[in-house]
Amino acid sequence: MPTKLPHSSVYHTAEEKERLQKSAKFYGLNVSKFLLLAGLEELPEPEDTRKLLFQLIFEIRRTGANLSQIRRNLNAVRLTGEVEPVTDAEVKQAVKEFQEVIKQIGEGL
């Protein structure tokens, strides 16, 4: 039979509850786990989180620029009939990069 873990209660206002939930969500934790890790001083460093977010933003912008270039080329074809060649490989690479960034966002946040 599993051992029952001790239980602790925390009293808070509705505003504090909302703030706790927001903070826990930021770390990808439920409120209970967030409070436990915060109390034990084992939360991930916020600087690490900021670095990850800046890296993800950079990757999203870079991928967006690639997709914008492809869009411009496709629009040029529609308007002028002239085309700067975009290979299937370039399109696939841009889509692959975008999917990777989305995956990193899911894993990192």
Please report, to the nearest 10 degrees, the dihedral formed by the alpha carbons of residues 86, 92, 98, 103 taken in order. Answer: -170
State the average pLDDT over residues 39-54.
75
The residue ranking higher by pLDDT, 60 or 85, is 60
What are the structure tokens assigned to 51, written together? 């670095």
Q: pLDDT tens, 69-97?
A: 877 777 777 677 666 666 778 778 878 88
Burial status of residue 48 (CB atoms within 10 A of its CB: 0-12, 13-18, 19 or more): exposed
pTM of the model: 0.41
Please give the C-alpha separations between residue 54 and each of 1, 33, 61, 106, in angstroms, as whole numbers: 47, 26, 11, 15
